Amino acid sequence: MLKFFHRMASPKYFYQFAGKLIPWLGVACLGFMLAGLYDGLLVAPTDYQQGDSYRIMFVHVPAAWMSLFIYMVMATAGAIGLIWHIKLAEVMAISSAHVGASFTFLALVTGSIWGKPMWGAWWVWDARLTSELILLFLYLGVIALYNAVEDKRTAARATSILALVGVVNIPIIHYSVEWWNTLHQGPTVTKFDAPSIDLRMLIPLLLMAVAFKLFYAVVVLMRARCEILQRERNSGWVKELVRASS
């Protein structure tokens, strides 16, 4: 196992391994996505209060979960890059930032679409919404800072520090509905002691959560492969790869 992780730290080996893994993850993602959408749109019952408008949660909730999950992955990879100077960790951190920003934007947009009929407004300065918006700005700040610095090793260190500072926002987002009196709906899936979501709604929600994680894995590996080629463009194995493909 240690040998495997040691080999995975090699850009060349990771590039080859990721290339083999992406198609399998893509097929699995498609399967879970189709199953989740079918169950969520056609099988799950209509909510007695919200009607069919609640079905947007099958996209909104997994997207919100992913926005937090990916940020923690990005910050953790950044910390590994800072401490052990592993190039691949830096690559995974910046590659995750773009995907995380996309999921955060999706969560905000779908939340606004749901909020209009439920709250009567597209946006309110609710604690959960505001802290999620700050998360989007953190993602965009990491991306902008990385692109602003020409030396990518220096840029990776700077963005890793920014990402680690921003980690303080994650528990604020998660616990905001418990710490403050907010309009945002409280937790439902995590209330295992007193479940407040119908099983027919929970299953497609979890299917979509898995699909979104697989989608993240596919996209981040693709972005990481591109980033590796950019960083290693002067190395022998990349030049050999270019000659073989031409």
Q: What is the pLDDT of residues 115-124, one digit of tens each?
A: 888 888 888 8
Domain that holds residue 201: 21-43+56-232
CB 99 within 8 Å of CB 92: no
Is 7 domain-assigned? no
Q: Across residues 182-197, what is the average pLDDT?
A: 58
Residue 127: predicted pLDDT: 87
Is 122 domain-assigned? yes
Q: Across residues 73-77, what is the average pLDDT?
A: 98
Is 196 domain-assigned? yes
Is 239 domain-assigned? no
Is 36 domain-assigned? yes
Instruction: Give phi and psi for 222, each to the nearest 5.
Output: -65, -45
Q: First vs last Cα of the chain: how many Å apart?
A: 36
Q: What is the pLDDT of residues 49-69, one digit of tens each?
A: 888 989 999 999 999 999 999
Distinct helix (H) and strand (E) counts, the chain: 9, 0
Is 32 domain-assigned? yes
pTM: 0.93
Per the structure, how many domains does the chain have?
1
Is 9 domain-assigned? no
How far lies 122's CA from each of 119, 134, 184, 216, in Å? 8, 17, 13, 27
Q: What is the mean pLDDT of the chain?
A: 91
Is 30 domain-assigned? yes
Which two three-digit tokens encode residue 225?
Answer: 């492969």
Residue 190: predicted pLDDT: 53
